[in-house]
Structures are given as C-alpha cells and as structure tokens.
C-alpha cells in the first residue's frame, strides 16, 4: 500500500477510534501515523544532503585548483583574473556535476530505493 494511503487510513482510524477523545489524543494518534512518511522523507533528505555536500567539496577543490592556474596568476586586471578563473574552473565544475549525476543514478538512487522499500515493508508488517 502506498505510504500516503496508509497514512490517511491510519488517520481515519484515529478519528474513528478516538471520536470522543480530546484533540491532543487524536493529534498524538495521527502523529504516530505520520512517522513512517516522515522517516522516509528524512532518509531521502539525508541522502540528497550528503551528495550536495560532496558536490560542494568538489567545487571547492575546483576553485582551489583554478586559483593556482598560471593564467589566473598571470592576469593583470581583476576582470582578466575573473575570466581566467572562470575558464579554469568551468571544466572541473562540469566534470564534478556529471560525476554527481552519475553517482546519483548508479548508486544513490538504487540504494535509496532499496532502503525505502525496506522501510515501507517494515511499516506494513507493523500495521
């Protein structure tokens, strides 16, 4: 069962079971229903944040390498230095993003799908 459907059915059960209970009781019950979806969301968010940090570290390395390029050092004006820096960084940054896209497609996404499927199965077994 899709996690959203499971949440809505669980929330409906909360409302039915606790029809005469306080708002806090109903809210606590529905909060329990949301936990699996929140966990799945946090898992996805964490994986994406780790990949973004990796890309940011790669770009910082590109910037460090570019700043040491001979063309950047030889530039005499700020504009020429900026152009040389951009020219030195661009291939590295493009390569970094291509690598990130490849990693996401070949390892991050499949691992995430596997983990989310296991979480969903575990949730369905608990239900």
Question: Is the per-residue pLDDT at 126 higher than 70?
Answer: no
Give the DSSP letter string of 60-90: HHHHHHHHTSHHHHH--SHHHHHHHHHHHHH
Model pLDDT, residue 120:
83
Domain coverage including residue 81: 3-126
- Between residues 4 and 118, the one the model is more confident about: 118
Tens-digit pLDDT profile for residues 61-93: 999 999 888 888 888 898 988 899 999 999 999
Q: Determine the Cα–Cα distance for residues 29 and 35; give it in Å rounded to an integer.
A: 10
What's the structural domain count of the chain?
A: 1
Burial classification of residue 67, based on how many CB atoms lie within 10 Å of its CB (0-12 exposed, 13-18 middle, 19 or more buried): middle
Structure tokens at 125: 């077994």
């Amino acid at each position: 069962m899709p996690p959203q459907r499971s949440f809505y059915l669980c929330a409906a059960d909360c409302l039915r079971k606790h029809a005469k209970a306080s708002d806090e009781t109903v809210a606590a019950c529905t909060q329990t229903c949301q936990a699996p979806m929140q966990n799945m969301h946090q898992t996805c968010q964490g994986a994406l944040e780790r990949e973004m940090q990796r890309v940011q570290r790669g770009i910082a390395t590109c910037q460090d390498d570019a700043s040491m390029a001979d063309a950047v050092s030889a530039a005499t004006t700020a504009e020429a230095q900026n152009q040389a820096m951009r020219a030195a960084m661009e291939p590295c940054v493009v390569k970094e993003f291509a690598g990130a896209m490849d990693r996401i497609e070949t390892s991050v996404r499949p691992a995430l799908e596997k983990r989310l499927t296991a979480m969903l199965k575990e949730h369905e077994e608990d239900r």
